[in-house]
Structure 1
């Protein structure tokens, strides 16, 4: 935010001017001398970014726990970069900190290049970087998010934000942080087994990352593509968790009795054995009870 917009005296020749970026938007940095005479057509930021920032100010960022929400005391546009859209101030364990806000494309996925470029812009001044997107590329995983002291959070934006009325409301879980799944891949005698060990959950109130207590409390279902081609995820194994009585709702929905032995083969955190993939890769997709998902790809 520019506090003092007037740089020069009205009674003297201008000696400074505000620097503009390649889109004609002020960067907030004063430059010496007079501005060169030329045509300038400012390019405003995309509307979905402006509306998303307005909702982020009101709604904050929620994780999968009810009382753990990252709220911003202030949130203002950041003029100094092409990837970082806004700067927010928040409090963590009683200490005031700064967060860089990155808004992904309205149509398409947030890729690893966007995350790395945004991190380079804000790593000198931000304590955390919140990357908001409607969808994330599978390559945006552990290695991409591990950027030294900078805490990087993937916040999935609700599809409700696409509706104009949702932008005005500013409530609900519009931005949700879903932790990275803790997955183990075991191989023996030409066969593979995937084990879902838990989910790493970020607590925005303390800044700590902890492992989920019970997998069933944080994961609704998970799927395995045992021969991932790198483009399309094909569900070859499906497993369902969560709920105190996993059979009751299914019985109600199907209006029939459920074979508990058959259901038990799907209610598990360890996959069935499968052969090594011809493509050399498998993919595991995990979904929580809000419908948010995270995906990891393993090379074999």
Structure 2
């Protein structure tokens, strides 16, 4: 390349100057270490006047050649390199419809403020907990904030009648189970005890965490374990029961990161349980696979049992036909629901949609696809509230 030739030509001039400069100053500077200005601090105390002037001249000559080299390289790149125009304000094309809107990024501060006293000294949380510094001790912890909102909002499911309302919610002295909730079964009018497990404020709940919490809840004779977390790892999807103990995974709304700034009215869907999707793999005679979604298993607080429902609770579902266990790539997308979204989509796009093509998308059974090289596929199901659950299959 031309810039390599330019570099080599100038290196024949720069390298001798660098060596002379190091000899004059008694240094061992590499090219990137040579300062832009040669101040008094760089000269030895016993250097002669003529040697000082000589070193200054070499330094100036080196930088002159260094700048000239960069200018020639920049000119070569500008003349020979490919270029393209970048548009930050594109022209609007009325003939095209944007299906996906622009991305929106929200930022939540992962920091909590530390209390300071009248002398601007940091308040020790341990002393505050002992009552020595009551002002800081009154600040609520993350778990206390979550439990306060959980008691008010309850746990929402797809249907309002399946919402879990707590008549009482109090702390529990466990390792993972941090609270005991009491709710009433409407059919038997008997009270049921729920162990509450709260995941990390910034992190993901692993399957091992759920198993340990379920064992602890079972030993304490709870009727159900309700896990509340912002995110669950993929392997937790199939873990919905440990012995007789049902395990419900409630996804917490991201607004709870700022729960201390929200009004605790209980009207929002802060804790939502998305049931376990019932998914079936269908091999065909040609060695390909198809995926069928039968419905969603939903916990009924009225009976304390898990019952199956149809696909009306599902808004859409996606398939990654070659899942690499790192990221989910949508290779198949399908739409479901009690109300056919065809009309809404047609109105939004302001265009006619091929009915035959739409039939392949509005389906509970996927199109055939080849078996993945990775040996795994992943299916992600999303309900009308925007909650999602993913299942991974070995094939």
Q: Which TM-score bucket, shorter chain as reference?
A: 0.7 to 0.9
Q: 1:243: Cα distance to partner? A: 4.7
Q: Could you say which residue in structure 2 is the equivalent of 1:56? A: 150
Q: Which moved more, 1:112-121 or 1:237-246?
A: 237-246
User: Structure 2: where are the runs of 5+ without partners?
Assistant: 1-125, 131-136
The residue number in structure 1 matching 2:274 is 178
The reply on whether 1:208 has 2:305 as its aligned counterpart is yes
1:193 is the counterpart of 2:295 = no
SS in 2 for 1:169: coil
Q: State the structure with more CA Rg.
A: 2
Number of equivalenced pairs: 257
Q: Report the equivalent of 2:178.
A: 85
TM-score, normalisation: structure 2: 0.62
Displacement, 1:54?
0.5
- Counterpart-to-counterpart distance in 2, 1:226 and 1:68: 34
Q: Does the Cα contact within 8 Å between 2:229 and 2:252 map onto a contact in 1?
A: yes
Match of 2:236 in 1: 140
Residues 57-84 of structure 1 deviation map (CA, whole Å, 9 limit, x = unaligned):
01111210121211111111112x2211
Paired residue for 2:389? 294
Contact in 2 for aligned 1:133/1:155 (Cα 8 Å): yes
2:222 maps to which residue? 126
Instruction: Give yes or no for the alignment of 1:110 onto 2:205.
Output: yes
1:211-290 equivalent positions in 2, closer than 5 A: 211-212=308-309, 214-215=310-311, 217-290=312-385
Contact 1:103 1:131 survives alignment (8 Å): yes
Partner of 2:112: none
Bigger shift: 55-64 or 244-253?
244-253
> Is the Cα–Cα contact under 8 Å of residues 152 and 264 in structure 2 kept in the other structure?
no
Indicate the residue corresponding to 1:15 in structure 2: none
Q: How far does residue 162 in structure 1 lie from its aligned partner after superposition?
A: 2.3
Query: CA contact under 8 A between 2:215 and 2:242: conserved in structure 1?
Result: no
Aligned equivalents of 1:196 and 1:177: distance in 2? 18
Offset of residue 48 of structure 1 = 2.8
1:74 aligns with 2:168: yes
Q: How many angstroms does 1:190 deviate by? A: 2.0
Per residue, is there more strand in 1 or in 2?
1
Confirm whether residue 96 of structure 1 aligns to residue 191 of structure 2: yes
Partner of 1:150: 245
Instruction: Let me know the Cα RMSD of the aligned residues.
Output: 2.0
| Higher relative contact order (CA closer than 8 Å, sequence separation 6+) | 1
Between Structure 1 and Structure 2, the one with more helix by share is: 2
1:46, distance to aligned residue in structure 2 (A): 8.4
Once the two structures are superposed, residues 199-252 of structure 1 have per-residue CA deviations (whole angstroms, 9 ceiling, x without a partner) of: 11111122121111x31x200000000000111111000001125342211122
Would the aligned equivalents of 1:69 and 1:205 in 2 still touch at CA under 8 Å? Answer: no
Q: Distance in 2 between matches of 1:50 and 1:253?
A: 44
Q: Structure 1 residues 298, 255: closer, same or farther in 2, change over 3 A?
A: same
Offset of residue 170 of structure 1 = 2.8
Distance in 1 between residues matched to 2:211 and 2:305, nearest whole Å: 22
Asked if 2 retains the 8 angstrom alpha-carbon contact of 1:62 and 1:177, the reply is yes
How far apart, CA to CA, are the structure 2 residues paired with 1:243 and 1:117?
38
The residue aligned with 1:17 is none
Give the deviation of 1:130 after TM superposition. Answer: 0.2
Question: Are the equivalent residues in 1 in contact too, given 2:154–2:266 (CA < 8 A)?
Answer: no
